Amino acid sequence: MNVNQLSKRLQTVADYLPEGAHFADIGSDHAYLPCYVCMKDPDAKAVAGEVNQGPLSSAEREVASHGLQDRIDTRLGNGLDVVKQGEVSQVTIAGMGGPLIRDILDQGKEKLSTVDRLIVQPNIDARALRRWFLDHGYELVAEEIIEEKGHIYEVLVADKGDSLKPYTKDKREQELWFGPFLMKNKGDVFQAKWKEELEKKQYVLAQMKKAQSVDEDKMEQLNKEIDWLEEVLAE
């Protein structure tokens, strides 16, 4: 993968940035995403943040190879520490686990006062991010689920707004898990992801039933999740 042939995963993230974006890409690694966006849009500007020197060096090389040093600032630091107050209007964080992305947002929340859009691509546990958006005044406005090279990825887009809006009162827990928009569309990739999850949970339940001592709470939780999965796949 390179900047001229961005992965479908990063392309999906890039598609949700507005024209003239001024954004921070946290955990940017090779900085393919900011380079791609800035090459396409002459008004875009970015901060590429990295906590590790190795990836930061590849980001520096990539940025320099496109002569984009005046529009992409590569910075070493943890999470949103690399961003100055009021400096950016969008933040992208891709290719990490949901809980890590959530912690980066949470630890840097004072830097988000001028950030009106967050675009995240968690590798696992998107629910952790939906919950964080809900609790911090970010309204989920779009979700994508894509498959690339045998992996399934979710991309979530949240704007400052009414964080309760995408959710219904009775089904909020399920919507936080499956995604309120994704569970309305239920495309093939969605079906594949949750069918696999259902099979895993059914296997765990069968093993649990064979065990000599049973954790009733765990069993109850598992049964509830299996019901939700069967429901969402059947509807």
Total residues interacting with ligand SAM, rule: CB under 6 A: 16
Instruction: Confirm or reject binding of residue 51 to ligand SAM (CB under 6 A).
Output: yes
Among 104, 105, 120, 232, binds ligand SAM (CB under 6 A): 104
DSSP state of 121: E
Q: What is the 3-state secondary structure (H, E, C) of 43-106?
A: CCEEEEEECCHHHHHHHHHHHHHCCCCCCEEEEECCHHHHCCCCCCCEEEEEEECHHHHHHHHH
Based on the shown chain and the rule CB under 6 A, indicate whether residue 46 belongs to the binding site for ligand SAM.
no
Asked whether position 55 contacts ligand SAM by CB under 6 A, the answer is yes
Binding of residue 50 to ligand SAM (CB under 6 A): yes
Q: Which CB, 32 or 177, lies closer to ligand SAM? A: 32
Nearer to ligand SAM, 90 or 174 (CB): 90
Among residues 18, 40, 52, 220, the one that binds ligand SAM under rule CB under 6 A? 52
49 part of the interface to ligand SAM, by CB under 6 A? yes
The residue from 44, 46, 94, 176 that contacts ligand SAM (CB under 6 A) is: 94
Give the DSSP per-residue string, 197-231: HHHHHHHHHHHHHHSSS--HHHHHHHHHHHHHHHH
Burial (Cβ within 10 Å: 0-12, 13-18, ≥19) of residue 46? buried
Kindly compute the dihedral angle of the four CA atoms of residues 131, 137, 139, 144, in this order, to the nearest 10 degrees.
-40
**Does 180 contact ligand SAM by CB under 6 A?**
no
Residue 3 and residue 59: Cα distance in Å, rounded?
Answer: 11
CB of 228 to ligand SAM, least distance (A): 29
Q: Which H or E run includes 176?
A: helix 172-178
- DSSP element (H, E) containing 33: helix 32-40
Site for ligand SAM in 61-80 (CB under 6 A): 78-79
Q: Point out which span in 26-34, 108-116, 145-153, 214-222 binds ligand SAM (CB under 6 A).
A: 26-34
Binding site for ligand SAM (CB under 6 A): 10, 26-29, 49-52, 55, 78-79, 94-96, 104
